[in-house]
Amino acid sequence: MNKNLFPIRNTERLILRKPDEHDWEMVSYLRSDNEVNKYVKRMSAESKEKAIAFIKKVNGGIIDQSILYWVITEKENEEMIGSICIWNFSEDRKTAEVGFDLSPKFQKQGIMDESLRSVLDYGFTYLNLDTITAYTHRKNISSITLLKRNRFTHNSEMIDSNNKDNIILEITSNTYERAK
């Protein structure tokens, strides 16, 4: 990946773009709302300052190539409605983790499915990843269903040492290629 060229992704209905400081309100909401975060343990961003600090941190990670973080927008509206990222790269950059969140107002519309398919394509086609993992709470049926619909399988041998309530699902490049 070229450090200076962020990979904007276009899907049928969506644009996945680099975050900007004007996204701070949705970043704050997604990282601080109790309902959105009921299955997630992460640092909140309940203020403008914390949300902007998070955006700056993410953009720094984009520059140093430790994370790819896309803001999800509808094509006809540039306002952020969610996010999806590839991060937590292995040392050899053959394995990475996907993470995502979406405003409840936009859930159950296939938006995250469309976003995930685009990001999986990028991860396997352009980053040449062998495996993409996803950590999700065992009770987060919506995320588990989304991941399984996209050919992720539960890896019962992997354990999240930071959250015993999480399960880890994964997809390999071979599985992805066979499903295309």
Q: pLDDT for 160-179, tens place per residue? A: 888 889 999 999 999 998 87
In a domain, 24, yes or no: yes
92 burial via Cβ count (<10 Å: 0-12, 13-18, 19+): exposed
In a domain, 3, yes or no: no
Residue 44 confidence class, pLDDT cut points 50, 70, 90: confident
In a domain, 114, yes or no: yes
Task: Provide DSSP, 24-49.
Answer: HHHHHHHHH-TTTTTT-------SHH
The total of structural domains in the chain comes to 1
pTM of the model: 0.93
Residue 4 confidence class, pLDDT cut points 50, 70, 90: low
Which CATH number does the domain housing residue 64 bear? 3.40.630.30
In a domain, 4, yes or no: no
In a domain, 75, yes or no: yes
Residue 43 has pLDDT above 90, yes or no: no
Tell me which residue range forms the domain holding 51. 9-179
In a domain, 2, yes or no: no
Provide, rounded to the nearest whole percent, the portion of the chain with pLDDT above 70: 97
